[in-house]
């Protein structure tokens, strides 16, 4: 049995909503032979307190679970309701079958409303065989527990859409943010690892650019920072990595960090 005092994060996907490579694109990043330039849609798995907690399950969820040879998950925690973060929910059925258990999911009212809209067959009064079996937990901007694990939401803005980042012990995970409100920043203080989105080099209406992400990292001062939700516009992984501060790194698919 693993040590319950330890925590790790595995980056299941680090790409933007259309992934990298982009369909029909012939840019150097999309044609790169470097496996770090191949990015599934953004998702992560946290191993803590002998639990596997998945953050977001987008359209690549099935491939991500198979790639990591995941045999059990204890919860899916959603950051927000966009399809690149919820579209793989149907594939939790495999865990229902194999483990004979419901999968708890956690998210805001907006997330749960979107899931009911996107997957109406899960919620019909007479459900047919084979639909995902879920236990739904609606959260607000207050700490909550997944089993013994305390999770602190961090409310950020994705343009005008509220998105939840999460702090688990000394790990902070924030994706799809364009603004971190000042009143939420204290929740990040003292983080050993900060995961933060950095879509591209130029400014974007609903995502942090690389420069904006680096400014926030300098302000928030985590020990280490890893950038995610990366588009092909950011550049080749190997080249961008050389230009980053010593304590900042580009995350990539299948990277595992132990805290």
DSSP code string of 132-191: --EEEEE--SS-EEETTEEEEEEEEEETTEEEEEEEETTEEE--S-SB--GGGGGGGTT-
Which pLDDT value is given to residue 1?
A: 46
Q: Are 179 and 202 in contact (CB under 8 A)?
A: no
List the domains of the chain with CATH numbers: 7-258 (3.60.15.10)
Which pLDDT value is given to residue 126?
A: 80
Cis, bond preceding 63 (omega within 30 deg of 0): no
pLDDT < 50 stretches in the chain: 1
Which pLDDT value is given to residue 223?
A: 98
Which pLDDT value is given to residue 130?
A: 84
Residue 219 φ then ψ, to 5°: -70, -45
Q: Any idea what DSSP says for residue 128? A: P
Our measurement of the distance from residue 42's CA atom to the centroid of its chain's CA atoms, rounded to an integer in Å, reads 5
Which pLDDT value is given to residue 3?
A: 61
Query: 230 forms bridges with which residues in the sheet?
Result: 15
Closest CA to 146 of 190, 103, 110, 108: 103
Residue 78 φ then ψ, to 5°: -100, 140
Beta strand segments in the chain, E: 7-13, 43-48, 51-55, 75-77, 103-107, 134-138, 144-146, 149-158, 161-168, 171-173, 193-197, 224-228, 248-250, 256-258
Which pLDDT value is given to residue 97?
A: 93
> Could you report the per-residue pLDDT of 175-212, keeping only the tens digit for each?
999 999 999 999 999 999 999 999 999 999 999 999 99
CA distance 156 to 166: 10
């Amino acid at each position: 049995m693993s040590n319950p005092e330890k925590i790790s994060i595995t980056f299941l996907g680090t790409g933007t909503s259309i992934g990298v490579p982009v369909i029909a694109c012939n840019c150097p990043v999309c044609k790169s032979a470097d496996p770090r330039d191949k990015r599934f849609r953004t998702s992560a798995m946290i191993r803590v307190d002998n639990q596997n907690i998945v953050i977001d399950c987008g359209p690549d969820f099935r491939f991500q679970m198979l790639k990591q040879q995941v045999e059990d998950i204890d919860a899916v925690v959603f950051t927000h309701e966009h399809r690149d973060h919820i579209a793989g929910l149907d594939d939790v059925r495999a865990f229902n079958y194999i483990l004979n258990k419901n999968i708890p999911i956690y998210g805001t009212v907006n997330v749960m409303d979107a899931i009911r809209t996107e997957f109406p067959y899960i919620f019909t009064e007479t459900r047919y065989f084979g639909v995902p079996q879920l236990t739904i937990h609606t959260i607000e901007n207050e700490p909550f527990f997944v089993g013994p694990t305390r999770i602190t939401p961090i409310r950020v803005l994705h343009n005008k859409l509220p998105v939840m980042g999460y702090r688990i012990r000394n790990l902070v995970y924030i994706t799809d943010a364009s603004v971190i409100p000042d009143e939420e920043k204290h929740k990040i203080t003292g983080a050993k690892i900060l995961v933060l989105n950095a879509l591209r080099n130029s400014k974007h209406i609903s995502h942090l650019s690389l420069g904006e992400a680096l400014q926030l990292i300098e302000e928030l001062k985590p020990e280490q920072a890893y950038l995610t939700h990366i588009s092909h516009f950011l550049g080749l992984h190997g080249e961008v990595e050389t230009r980053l501060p010593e304590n900042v790194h580009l995350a990539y698919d299948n990277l595992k960090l132990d805290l």
